[in-house]
Every structure is written in C-alpha cells, then in structure tokens.
Amino acid sequence: MPYRRCGKSGIQLPAISLGLWQNFGDIDQKEVFRQTLRTAFDNGITHFDLANNYGPPPGSAEQNFGAILTTDFAGYRDELLVSTKAGYTMWEGPYGDWGSRKYVIASLHQSLKRLKLDYIDIFYHHRNDPNTPLEETMCALSDVVRQGKALYVGLSNYPADLVTEAAAILRDLNCPCLIHQPKYSMLVRTPEEGLLNVLDEEGIGIIAFSPLAQGLLTNKYLQGSIPTDSRASKEHFLKSTAITSELVTKLSALNGLAAQRGQSLAQMAIAWLLKDQRLTSVLVGARNSAQLTDSLKSLENLSFSQEELKLIEAILSTT
C-alpha cells in the first residue's frame, strides 16, 4: 500500500481508505463487514472513515465498527486512523443538526461512546451551516482537539470560498485544518472548479468520496438495465433516472479504454483520481472483501498517457 502525505501535516494516509457510509449498518451482515474490515487492514488500509449518521439506522456503523475494534483490532489502535463527522440530522429538536457548538460537541461525545474510543483521530464538520457563524463551528472543532477528544479536524462538502475562511479561523486558533473531503469522480468534477487549487495552496489534504459515483462507474449499468441489488434500484442516493442512454454510451466507451489498460471500469476510475498527486487518498466503499480486493487492484496501474487522458476527456464531454 502506498501512503501519501496529508497536506503539510505529519500524517500519511493510505492511497485507498475504507469508507463505512453504507454496508456496515444493522441491516447488513455482521460477519461480511467484519471480514471486509480485516481484509482492509491486512492490505495496508489503516484509515477507516465514518460519520455519526452512517448506517442505517444512523449511528449503527459507528457502533458496529466500535464492537469490532474491541475484538478483532484489540491492540492495534495506534496503527489505525479513525475519522468521524457531525453535520447532518442525528436527533429530534433544534440541537441535533447542522453546526452549532452544542450539536457538534454533543455529537462527538455520542460518537466516542458508540465507537468505544477515548479520542477520534480526525473529526470533520460534515457540511457548512448557513445559519451558524463559521467562527462558532470552527471554535467547537478547535476545542475538542484541546480537550483531547480529537487529534485533527477536517471539513467535508465545504465550497472553496468557505474553506479559505474556515482554514484562516482554524490557523488563528492554532488548530490547522488537516483535510477536506469532497465528492469527486470522473462524473462529478466540481472540485476542479477552484477547490483543489485552494486546498493545495492552503496545505490541506484531500480525500475524495464517492469515487465510483455511487456505482455508476462500475460494470453494473453497462447494459442500460438496473440490477435488482444495485443502488439505483433502491431509489435513494442514486436514482434510476440517472441511467440514461447517453450515460451508458459514455460508460461503455470508458470501459473499453479500461480494458485496454488491463483494468475494470471501477479500477480505472479510482486510478484516474489518484493520478493527481494533490489527492491524499480515495475513499472506497465495499459490500464485501471481494469487492474491496478488486478496488485495491487499481493501485497496480496509476499512470495515464496523455493520449488516454485526452480520450477520457473527449468521452466525458460528449452530449
């Protein structure tokens, strides 16, 4: 496993990290995700990414991960980097959402109990709150570091202009922002509109989530149909209406190029992100150990020729 420096910090992350957004909740099979976690660690994945609302139900991913930490990973805590987040709805009433100091700190306390940890390695604010002063949220992040409840802080889903403001506030508090987590893939290029450059200039690490665009950049939809066990069939994070004939044409062309590179479409999509040295890591999800092992094979070919890059851009720009 190659490791990359996280911005200007002393932290290194594996090029591929494991995200527990889905497949680790109470509705999932414990023995399956237990083996996935073991496979990840055995292959050099030392970074596991969670959030307070991961599951379903919300909180269950943290609880399940915490239980496995105390058994399978007992004695390995200092070889692991665990992150979690607060920012989305977690409980009823006015204090269970967004970015107030009350919510942010209370959420972390709950997360630590579920994870059965004394501290979290990286604590993120999950999304910017338009109704709470940025200073209030950043001060809350800084304070949990001073209290020893988190070692580093990060941001997720923040636009470039707010990253600059938040980073300045955190620097003044002597609690620099370690990392930012944006949605980024071949099909979601928003971070290229200024965010990547800002993060690079600020010396903040970058870890991309949803690198396969919720499964679109896999072989599941190449025939234009929607498999019964796919995310599109559940009509939740990915809608079936996203599977258009135009998209299928693009995916098929990308798949052809991937085959020429000796990769699957998913493996090429992950490698395409990691070709950019500004990225510290890519967060992958995995339904099981086999799926994770398949994603890890992307590391076998991270280089792209200029011809390949031009062809990818041509495919993606077609309408």
Query: CATH code at 293?
Result: 3.20.20.100
Residue 201 inside a domain? The answer is yes
Task: Domain count for the chain, please give it.
Answer: 1
Residue 92 inside a domain? The answer is yes
pLDDT at residue number 155: 98
pLDDT at residue number 221: 83
The domain in which residue 123 lies consists of 3-215+275-300
Residue 238 inside a domain? The answer is no
Residue 245 inside a domain? The answer is no
pLDDT at residue number 231: 56
pLDDT at residue number 237: 62
Residue 286 inside a domain? The answer is yes
Determine the residue type at 270.
I
Residue 124 dihedral angles phi and psi, to the nearest 5°: -100, 150
pLDDT at residue number 227: 62
Which residues of the chain fall below pLDDT 50? Answer: 233
Residue 61 inside a domain? The answer is yes
- Of 151, 172, 173, 154, which is closest to residue 163 (Cα–Cα)? 154
Given a contact cutoff of 8 angstroms between Cβ atoms, the answer to whether 85 and 121 are in contact is no
pTM: 0.94
- Of 124, 286, 267, 97, which is closest to residue 207 (Cα–Cα)? 124
> Which tokens is 176 given?
């620099």
Q: What are 148-158's pLDDT values in tens digits?
A: 999 999 999 99
Determine the residue type at 143.
D
b or e along 274-311 (b: 16 or more beta carbons within 10 Å of the residue's beta carbon)? beeeebbbbbbbbbbbebbebbbebbeeeebeeebeeb
Residue 220 inside a domain? The answer is no
Residue 181 inside a domain? The answer is yes
